[in-house]
C-alpha cells in the first residue's frame, strides 16, 4: 500500500506509470478484440452467414463494447467520486482481465451453435464496462497528482491505447505467423486472449503501489449523486465535451479497425496491413504525448481544432492511398493519419475532460463525456461496412468522417479554453477567446 506521505514528485511518477501501464493492458484486451473481429471472429463465431454479412455481424459485436462503455463510466465514475479513484481502477482491471481470458476459452459456433456469438457479445459488453470505468480513473490519477504540465502527464493514459494496439497486434500476428493460418483459426487465436492473465498480475502489482491523489482526499464529495451534480451544473460542458471527442474516435476506429478489413479487400495481405497499423500505432504513442505537451503551451482548443480540420481534409486522401496497392503508401497513409493527425484531436482530451468538471464529480463527468464520444469508435466500422454493402464508394466514407469532424469544430468553438483551470476548485478566472473558464 502506497504511503500518502511520499513526496508528490514520486507519487506523480508512480501515478503516471500506473496510468500508462494500466491503459496499455486495458486497451491490449479491448483492441485485441477489435483486430480479431476483423480477421478471425467472422470465421469462428458467424460461420453460418454470408462472408460480407459475417463481417458486419463481427463488427457489430465489436460495437457493443463501445455501447457499454458509458455504463462503465457511470458506474465506476459514481463510486470513484464517492470511494476513491484507486479502488475503482483495481476493479476495472480485474473485470477486463477476467472477461478477456474467458473470450480465449469460449467455444466456437461449430461447437455450441448460437450460444457462441451470444457469449461473445456478453463478454464484449463486460470489456466495454471495464474500459469505460478505466479511462476516467487512470487520467485523474495523473492529472490530480500533477501540479503543472497537466496536458503532458494526463496524456500518458491516452498514449496507452495505441501502445496496447501495438502489443495486441504484435501478439496476434506473431501467433499467426508461428502457427500458420489453419492452426491459428482453429485454436491459436485464443493464445493472445489467455495472455491477459499474466498482464493482469503485472498491472495489479503496479497499480496497488499508487496512493489516492491528495486533491481528492482533501475535497468534499458532491452533495448530490455525482451524475446529478454533473447534469445540474455542467450539462453544456458535458455535451460539448462529448462532441469535441466524437470525431477522434471515428478516425481512430477507421484507422485501426475498418482499414484492416478494407486493406485486405483492396488486395493487401492481412499481415501487410497489420504491420502498417503496428508502425502507425507506435508513432501515435509519440504523437499523443507531443501534441498533449503542446496543448499546455498553446491551449487545448487550438490543437484539437487544427487536428479536426486536417483530418477532414485528409479523409479524402486516405482510401485512395490504400487503393493504390502500394505498401509504402499504405504505411504513409496510416502513419500520417494515426501517428500525426489523430493525436492532435485525441491527445489533449485527457486534460480537457479533467478540467471541465469539479473534483467531487470529476470521475463521473470526465468518464461520461469521454465514453459518449467513444460511441463513434464503435459505430463507425459498422456504418462503413453497411455503406460498402449498399454499394457506396469511398467518397461517402470520407464524407461521413468529415461530417463528424465538422461537429467537433463547432463544439470546440463553443467551448471555453480549459488549460488554465485550477483543479482544486479555487478557479483562476481566466479571460479567454471563447469566454471565461467554466
pLDDT of residue 291: 97
Q: Which of 273, 310, 314, 307 is nearest to 291 (CA)?
A: 307
What the block records as the C-alpha cell of 356 is: 471541465
Q: What are phi and psi of 419, to 5 degrees?
A: -65, -20
Amino acid 215: pLDDT? 78
Cα separation, 111 vs 383, in Å, equals 30
CA distances from 70 to 133, 276, 369, 374, 437 (A): 8, 31, 8, 8, 26
Which has the higher per-residue pLDDT, 392 or 248? 248
* Residues 228-264 pLDDT 10s: 999 998 999 999 999 999 999 999 989 988 888 889 8
SS3 of 290-340: HHHHHHHHHCHHHHHHHHHHHHHHHHHHHHHHHHCCCHHHHHHHHHHHHHH
Question: Band of the pLDDT at 407, cuts 50, 70, 90?
Answer: very high
Start-end of H helices in 180-234: 181-183, 190-194, 196-207, 214-217, 226-233
Q: Determine the CATH number of domain 8-217+224-436.
A: 1.20.1250.20
Q: Could you tell me the three cell numbers for 428?
A: 483562476
What's phi and psi for 151, nearest 5 deg? Answer: -60, -45
Segment 171-224, tens digit of pLDDT:
888 888 888 878 887 888 889 889 888 888 888 888 888 888 877 877 776 667
Q: Tell me, what's the pLDDT at 307?
A: 97
pLDDT score recorded for residue 117: 79
Between residues 352 and 39, which one has the greater pLDDT? 352
Give tens-digit pLDDT for 308-341. Answer: 999 999 999 999 999 998 999 999 999 999 999 9
Instruction: Determine how many CB atoms are found less than 10 A away from the CB of residue 219.
Output: 18
Rounded distance, CA 66 to CA 183, Å?
30
Cell of 59: 463488427
pLDDT value for 69: 86
Place of cell 459485436: 61
Q: What's the rounded Cα separation, in Å, for the pair 251 and 312? A: 9
Find all residues with CB under 8 Å of 197, minimum gap 6, and list them.
97, 101
Domain boundaries, the chain: 8-217+224-436
Other CB atoms within 10 Å distance of the CB of residue 75:
18
Q: Is the pTM of this model over 0.95?
A: no
Residue 169 half-sphere exposure toward CB, CA atoms < 13 A:
25
Amino acid at each position: 500500500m502506497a504511503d500518502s506521505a511520499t513526496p508528490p514528485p514520486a507519487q506523480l511518477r508512480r501515478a503516471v506509470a500506473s496510468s500508462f501501464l494500466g491503459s496499455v493492458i486495458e486497451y491490449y484486451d479491448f483492441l485485441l478484440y477489435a483486430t480479431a473481429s476483423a480477421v478471425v471472429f467472422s470465421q469462428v463465431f458467424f460461420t453460418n452467414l454470408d462472408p460480407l454479412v459475417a463481417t458486419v455481424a463481427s463488427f457489430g459485436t465489436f460495437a457493443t463494447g463501445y455501447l457499454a462503455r458509458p455504463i462503465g463510466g457511470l458506474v465506476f465514475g459514481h463510486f470513484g467520486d464517492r470511494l476513491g479513484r484507486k479502488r475503482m481502477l483495481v476493479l476495472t482491471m480485474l473485470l477486463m482481465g477476467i472477461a478477456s481470458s474467458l473470450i480465449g476459452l469460449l467455444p466456437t459456433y461449430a461447437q455450441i451453435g448460437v450460444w457462441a456469438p451470444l457469449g461473445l457479445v456478453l463478454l464484449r459488453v463486460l470489456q466495454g464496462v471495464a474500459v469505460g470505468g478505466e479511462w476516467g480513473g487512470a487520467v485523474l490519477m495523473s492529472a490530480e497528482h500533477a501540479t503543472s504540465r497537466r496536458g503532458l502527464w494526463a496524456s500518458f493514459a491516452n498514449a496507452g491505447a495505441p501502445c496496447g494496439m501495438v502489443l495486441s497486434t504484435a501478439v496476434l500476428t506473431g501467433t499467426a505467423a508461428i502457427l500458420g493460418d489453419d492452426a491459428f483459426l482453429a485454436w491459436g487465436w485464443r493464445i493472445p486472449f489467455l495472455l491477459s492473465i499474466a498482464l493482469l498480475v503485472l498491472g495489479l502489482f503496479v497499480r496497488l503501489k499508487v496512493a489516492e491523489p491528495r486533491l481528492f482526499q482533501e475535497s468534499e464529495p458532491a452533495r448530490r449523486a455525482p451524475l446529478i451534480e454533473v447534469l445540474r451544473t455542467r450539462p453544456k460542458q458535458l455535451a460539448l465535451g462529448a462532441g469535441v471527442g466524437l470525431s477522434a474516435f471515428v478516425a481512430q476506429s477507421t484507422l485501426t479497425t475498418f482499414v484492416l478489413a478494407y486493406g485486405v479487400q483492396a488486395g493487401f495481405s492481412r499481415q501487410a496491413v497489420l504491420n502498417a497499423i503496428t508502425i502507425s500505432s507506435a508513432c501515435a504513442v509519440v504523437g499523443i504525448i507531443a501534441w498533449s505537451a503542446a496543448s499546455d503551451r498553446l491551449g487545448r482548443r487550438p490543437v484539437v481544432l487544427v487536428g479536426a480540420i486536417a483530418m477532414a481534409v485528409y479523409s479524402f486522401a486516405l482510401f485512395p492511398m490504400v487503393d493504390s496497392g502500394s505498401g509504402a503508401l499504405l504505411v504513409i497513409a496510416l502513419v500520417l493519419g494515426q501517428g500525426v493527425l489523430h493525436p492532435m484531436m485525441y491527445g489533449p482530451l485527457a486534460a480537457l475532460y479533467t478540467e471541465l468538471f469539479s473534483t467531487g464529480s470529476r470521475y463521473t463527468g470526465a468518464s461520461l463525456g469521454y465514453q459518449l464520444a467513444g460511441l463513434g469508435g464503435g459505430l463507425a466500422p459498422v456504418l462503413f461496412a453497411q455503406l460498402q454493402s449498399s454499394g457506396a464508394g469511398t467518397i461517402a466514407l470520407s464524407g461521413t468522417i468529415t461530417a463528424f469532424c465538422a461537429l467537433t469544430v463547432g463544439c470546440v468553438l463553443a467551448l471555453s479554453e480549459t488549460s488554465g483551470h485550477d483543479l482544486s476548485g479555487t478557479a483562476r478566472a481566466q479571460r479567454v477567446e471563447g469566454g471565461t473558464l467554466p
